[in-house]
Chain A
Amino acid sequence: MIRKVLVVDDDMEMLNMVQEGLKRYDETFSVLTAVDGLDAVDQLKENTVSIVVTDLKMPRMDGFSLLAYIMEHYPEVPVIIMTGYSTPEMERSAWEKGAVGYISKPFMINALAERIVTTLRREADGGTLHSISSGMFLQLVEMEEKTCTIRLVSKGSGELGILFFRQGELLDARADGLRGEEAAYEIFSWEQVSLSIQNSCQQKEKRIHRDLQAILLEAMRRKDERRSRKEALPAKEKGEQKGAVKDKTLSPERVKQILSTHFAEGAGVEDIYEDEAWEGLIQEFRRVATFIKAGEFKAGYVDQEAASDFIILPGERPTVISVNPKCPRDRLMETLSEA
């Protein structure tokens, strides 16, 4: 399970340097970036983040305000402070406010990476399980009256979710920008998951007021209802059903299906594949979108003056379509962004 580390700093040079330096750990965690506290809050809402590493002095929302926000809204997310203006008072204040690490600039990138990896290990101190159906396992957690934080990744869509248990009672859930019961329904509708267990639960507030059995049954009911509604609707309307949870990832197979339905010929498509190398650019598109309130990124057409152009579709692993520059560009974009 690749975890996401959010690095926050208004010093772009520093941010790029940290991002570059941490690339060699990309099999353990990926790096998201934010330019200040408010940008970080947006990232936290959109992503399931495992750790935040933040500078203190930043415009709009500084590191201490961000730390306080995380402690209140995402208490399970550990925060590491990095600062160039360290004083003993600031360091003490950071610990008191709940930071799990404090690192003074300048620092060796390996020292930061080591701190991150050590903190990440705590996320799975209760073990990990792969390719299982979550229902049975979670009922066991309830029966055994476990206190834990469970992080799950859907095998189908790659979405991440978190469940918070205190003495077997499901307190809260988070997934795909949802919280509480709605998030739990979403997580329990995933067919197969990989999960990691942390033997502690920082979440205090109880947002789920139904018992686990009832939540599981309701999730199944919604899943069945969604499936039968989808079967009854023509293809184009499937994604527009109000309230339905959309599978946001267009896999290469799904793209092939869509293109074969809408385009008689090849439509100038040369190849369709998954490529993580585009993730950084997509992240920047999303960041711009938050500033101009553009909403969710659906699709992008990129011309790099090469023999082929590219259509990129967001997802845990972005789907990339290499196309002939003479392809029916606008029709392709319209079809894929509506899918």
Chain B
Amino acid sequence: MMKALFRQILEIEDVQGVSLISFAGEVIYQEDSGVFTRDAEKSGVWGRLFKAMQGTREADLVFENMRLYIRRTELGYLIIVMGLFAPAAMVRMNCDMLLPALKRKGKFKGLRGFFRKKA
């Protein structure tokens, strides 16, 4: 289900991975080509980053070998790993389009989802 949501982003040229990570640093969803390591999650590096970001809405980071686009959602932070030549504006636009759907996913999680009325 999540994969379908993120498919459009993953299909953009030079996008190498997508991860949705809770504000506490736990991975909710991950789809990548080996960029995100389990070590990163275990070390608490994401939780620390999000704490330091202090609720920042979005951040676009350029590194020597890749770019990261980090976007706040209702569930946590969405992290898109891109090559240096990925169309960043296109990635941002797709994230804007994805956020409402992600919000719905969050809404029906857990018991609230269990008790949800069937259509």
Contacts and interface: CB of A to CB of B under 8 A. Distances in A.
A303 interface: yes
Interface stretch (B61-69, B96-104, B111-119): B61-69
Contact of B66 (A10, A291, A294, A303): A294
A294 B64 contact: yes
Interface in A36-64: 36, 39, 59-60
B45 A291 contact: yes
Interface of chain B, helix or strand or loop or mixed? mixed
16 contacts: A59-B42, A285-B61, A287-B48, A289-B63, A292-B37, A292-B68, A294-B66, A295-B63, A297-B61, A298-B63, A298-B64, A299-B62, A301-B59, A301-B61, A330-B89, A333-B62
Contacts, number: 94
Contacts of A10: 43-44
Contact of A296 (B52, B64, B89): B64
B39 A291 contact: yes
Nearest first, the 4 A-B pairs at minimum CB distance are A295-B64, A294-B63, A291-B40, A295-B65
A35 B63 contact: no
Contacts of B65: 293-295
Contacts of B57: 303-305
Interface residues of B, number: 33
A300 B48 CA distance: 17
Given A298-B62, A303-B58, 20 more contacts: A16-B51, A35-B43, A36-B43, A39-B43, A284-B49, A285-B49, A291-B40, A292-B35, A294-B68, A295-B64, A297-B64, A300-B61, A300-B62, A302-B58, A303-B57, A303-B59, A304-B55, A330-B88, A333-B60, A333-B62
B8 interface: no
